[in-house]
Amino acid sequence: MSLAGNFRQLRRVGRIIRIASRHRLDELLEVAGLPLQRLPLAARLLLRFHPGRLLPRPSQSPARRLRLALEDLGPVFVKFGQILSTRRDLLPPAFADELRHLQDQVKPFSGSESRTIVERALGMPLHEAFAEFGAEPMASASVAQVHAARLHDGSEVVVKVIRPGIEAVIAEDIALLYSFARTLERFWPEARRLHPVEIVRDYERTIGDELDLLHEAANTSQLRRNFTRSELLYVPKVYWDYTRRNVLVLERIHGVPIAEIEQLRSAGTDMQKLAERGVETFFTQVFEDNFFHADMHPGNIFVDISDPADPSYIAVDCAIIGRLTENDQNYLARNLLAFFHQDYHEVARLHVESGWVPPQTDVHEFERVIRGVCEPIFQKPLSEISFGHFLITLFQTARRFEMEVQPQLVLLQKTLLNIEGLGRQLYPELDLWHTAAPFMERWMARRAGPAAAFRDFAEQAPELLGQLPHLPALLLRAGEMMNRFDGMARDQKELLQRLSAMQEAQAKGARLRRSAGLLALLAGGLLLAPGVAAADPGAMLLPAGFLGLFGAWLIFSNG
């Protein structure tokens, strides 16, 4: 890093210390259970005697102080706090709830700067690309801001522009986050299980995706294609001719923000249908397409109420997309069905089989603990049970069995919480269990039943039929290959026997050399013995030395 870069980072660290002191974040270390006695002496002295301890203790709760501090630290830390708020497997509920209120509202940069960025990215004057371009941004966030525009063919669009200079700020702040994470792993034993460095790495990857608008455009295009023939979700069109790494041009959509519940109700929207369609949209993305919008907070979701009796969703900002491996997808579906049927033994067994808990876990003990957590919850009507919070409770319980954080499930958990929360705001009687269970049963039947086996065979039938004419030749070649493998196995066995004989001969030779060497050393020593060398000691010195060197060579040589 350059001298200027080092100076900027030192200045940034100084600002972080001032903000942390003002909000008395040093007290959060004790709340988190960090063993302060294990910190280096200099760190302990700084915590004990830093000037911030002279400031009055704020009246707010520790969780609120953390949120206010992150907002003061700026957009990168705000976005990190938003992501951290989804990690309820890491944070106490009060902290996770408070961090969800973090606001990603940043002062916009000037319209003239946006014009310059767009013109440079497109390589043409703005008036050649757009018939109109709104100088005032429609919205401004930490990474980018959005302007309304119109193309020459009359299409209404929005133009998303990356904030100038944000890459350098993000790089410096992420370097600091890595330093904090490594310090935690070094001095806090619990942190090793929570993998703070991996959390920062996931955040770095996430915010890196947000900085590359070509990546967001590709995600948007894929999600749009997945729902082309569906009435559940509409995704705006990407205008690729005007899209670059730092500029994204999308179709402008017109809908009611999902948070405007009163406006939706006053328009006569079927709120139950809208809430249930949200759940169906989520499970379709996760299990049918394995490509789900993982940032579905209220600011990114709109509702098309052109027909209030048949409402549908509109999704924007597809920078963050989640996917599961086929194994995780399968285990997750089977776990969900086991929960629906209250089959706790199956839940415990699947956790071990999937590798989410260590293989030596006692399945029966794990089942007993899961039953103790779940039974009190299931005494309530299912419509009153939060499925997302239920999973979080289960994951927190599984920590007792050394359950590792599952990064591949974090985005899914976050999205499920958002969807369920929005669904219950729209329609408080929403029963996510009732809505999801039939979907999951149909999906599992398609994946694991006789129909799935027949479908797999049907999909591979053309390839199998194409190979039938070659089957006799393939069988003949297989026989020849088996004979060749038998010959190779015999040759390999003979080679191993020869190597073994050679090793044994070498070992025998080495023993003989060592024995001869010892005899030579002994003979040399005898030549120098007082009785033998008394007549002419000088005459004995040369042969004795030769025998000694020769003996040493025999003992220590490798060949």
Spell out the residues 6+ positions from residue 357 whose beta carbon is closer than 8 angstroms to its own.
351, 366, 398, 401, 402, 403, 404
Give the CA count within 13 Å in the CB-facing half-sphere of 27.
Answer: 18
**Cα(305)–Cα(90) distance, integer angstroms:** 39
Cβ atoms within 10 Å, residue 376: 9
Cβ atoms within 10 Å, residue 372: 11
Cβ atoms within 10 Å, residue 144: 25
The one catalytic residue in 295, 317, 328, 431 is 295
CA angle 368, 371, 376 (to 5 degrees): 140
Cβ atoms within 10 Å, residue 51: 9
Spacing of C-alpha 247 from chain mean position: 26
Residue with structure tokens 């998303």?
Answer: 160
Answer yes or no: are the C-beta atoms of 78 and 110 closer than 8 Å.
no
**Cα(382)–Cα(378) distance, integer angstroms:** 7
Spell out the residues 6+ positions from residue 72 whose beta carbon is closer than 8 angstroms to its own.
19, 22, 23
Taking phi first (over 0 means left), then psi (-120 to 50 degrees means alpha), and beta for anything else, what does residue 292 get?
Answer: beta
Spell out the residues 6+ positions from residue 244 whose beta carbon is closer than 8 angstroms to its own.
121, 122, 213, 214
Spell out the residues 6+ positions from residue 396 whose beta carbon is closer than 8 angstroms to its own.
88, 89
Residue with structure tokens 């949120």?
Answer: 67
Answer yes or no: are the C-beta atoms of 324 and 295 closer than 8 Å.
no
**Cα(34)–Cα(1) distance, integer angstroms:** 31
Please state at what angle helix 363-378 crosses helix 387-398, rounded to 10 degrees.
Answer: 150
Burial environment of residue 469 by CB neighbours within 10 A (0 to 12, 13 to 18, 19 or more):
exposed
Is 238 strand, coil or helix? strand
Cβ atoms within 10 Å, residue 389: 16
Question: 3-state secondary structure string, 389-415?
Answer: HHHHHHHHHHHHHCCCCCHHHHHHHHH
Spell out the residues 6+ positions from residue 142 whose beta carbon is closer than 8 angstroms to its own.
74, 75, 76, 78, 79, 104, 106, 163, 166
The question of whether 307 is a catalytic residue gets the answer no
Catalytic residues: 295
